[in-house]
Copies of this chain bind each other. A is one copy, B any other.
Amino acid sequence: MAQETQEGVTSKKSRLSEWYNEITVKAELADYSAISGCMVIRPYAYAIWQNIQSYFDKRLKEEGHKNAYFPLFIPERFLHKEKEHFEGFNPEVAYIERKDEKEERYALRPTSETIMYDSYSKWIRSWRDLPLLINQWCNIVRWEVKATRLFLRTREFLWQEGHTAHKTKEDADKEIQLILKLYLDLIEGEMAVPVLKGMRPEHDKFPGALYTLAMEALMPDGKALQMGTLHNLGQNFSKPFNIKYRDKNEKEQHVWQTSWGISTRMIGSLIMSHGDDKGLIMPPRIAPIQAVIVPIIFEKEKAKTLKEAGRLNDKLSEKLRVELDDRDGYSAGWKFNEWEMKGVPLRIEIGPKDIKANQVVVVRRDTGEKKTIKVSGQLENHIHEILEDIQKNLFRRAKKKMNDNIVEVKNYEELKKAIKDKKMVKTVWSGDPKAEDKIQNDTAANIRLIPLKGDTPKGQCVVNPKKKAKHIVYISKAY
């Protein structure tokens, strides 16, 4: 019997950053690669990504979106067509050594607006062709110079990017609201990660956009993690890319566009939002394995125990993502630790005693609660209910943590103290970018979001009391 022991894990509370790196590697979500700044997404994390994809892809299609695939390469001149867009991405763009016949450089896509809209200008002719609702699942290259953080900052990542074209600004605004809803259903509903949503301040919007909406999750260290962004591009791309349609009066109009994306980066929030000192905790709806069956083996009754465990596995597998851990050479305790590290929401133990009593023992990963359940025709429903309860509990817990980590402040001293205390700040701001520069210089935090609706800002700007407050804002450091 090859007994192995798991090493201790760094404390999440005292050293979040080390804990994150350690858990991500130990739970076999990701690994460092031979390419500096790039990661390997291991099967366990890729399964999470596939669950995210299959949920979101279905929702998008129900709303009339279709997938397509555009080239990885973008001619350099395309990037130049929208000035702000080029300046925003230029420092991170990687080019290939091969050039085209005219000696033009090819970039690896940092985002696909320009290569896609070149095609859109050929495909869109009349109002009948609108809206054009296209989505792409692909890899993206942004040559980051800061140090790699698995999932959070890598030179290549996977994402979806939606790119739509509409007849009017209103249609584009509606699309943004629709997709925001789908994103929230995914992130809060399936991943159990609560987010703040709002508008990016003017100076921090997507290069080339009219406006940018963003969703931010708040990590235990008070830093925001961007979960996704949505841009109303207005006609800023349709004009340089010449994307025009003939309206019902046969008049030529430029289209209105949106783009929006979420990426494998979100997996980082899953780890940090839910995990504890024993490892990951996976929300059941997105978990690659929803329940693991661990047979409790006594040598004399081994065959019978394995047979019953196998039957249980067959039964539960019909509707749930279940794994039977019947590996030889590992003790039950060792297996418990391993599946706790991997964050499987529910462990189901079955041993000779349980078989005699026609029962199983279930242990929740989120609370550690242990319970005995009779094996009956209702077992599947029962387990499904527990999983749904875990899902709700994880969201509730994360939401409470988020709210506890947001502090409303009235003056600049309070703001500085709150940021130092690893909190996110809710306050009011004049709208002056210089005020934000000051915050950034003094605290390394910046304005993350302006809430979409809610209270009207009152009083004076938190930075400069001489100026009237114009926006409610959330301020924090960010990943």
* Interface positions of A (Cβ within 8 A of B): 2, 31, 33-36, 38-43, 46-47, 49-50, 66-75, 78, 94-98, 100-101, 106, 108, 115, 118-119, 122-123, 126, 128, 134, 138-139, 141, 143, 156, 158, 327, 329
Contact = CB atoms under 8 A, between A and B. Distances in A.
Contacts of A108: 96
The 7 A-B residue pairs whose C-beta atoms are closest, nearest first, are A43-B66, A38-B71, A41-B69, A35-B73, A35-B71, A95-B97, A46-B67
Contacts of A134: 43
B69 A158 contact: yes
A31 B122 contact: yes
A110 to B, nearest CB: 13
Given A47-B66, A96-B95, A97-B94, A33 B156 contact: no
A142 to B, nearest CB: 11
Count the copies.
Answer: 2
A192 to B, nearest CB: 23
A98 B94 contact: yes
Contact of A128 (B33, B35, B71, B329): B329
Contacts of A101: 36
Chain A contact surface mostly = mixed
Given A34-B115, A115-B34, A329-B128, A67 B40 contact: no
Given A96-B94, A98-B143, A138-B139, A119 B39 contact: no
A128 B73 CA distance: 42
Nearest to A102: B36
Of A101, A119, A327, most buried by chain B (CB within 10 Å of CB) is A119
Contacts of A123: 31
A33 B68 contact: no
A43 B67 contact: yes
A74 B106 CA distance: 18
B47 A78 contact: no
Given A35-B74, A36-B101, A42-B68, 20 more contacts: A33-B70, A33-B71, A34-B71, A34-B115, A36-B100, A38-B71, A38-B72, A40-B68, A41-B69, A43-B134, A46-B68, A46-B69, A47-B67, A50-B67, A72-B141, A94-B97, A95-B97, A96-B96, A96-B97, A128-B329
Nearest to A98: B94
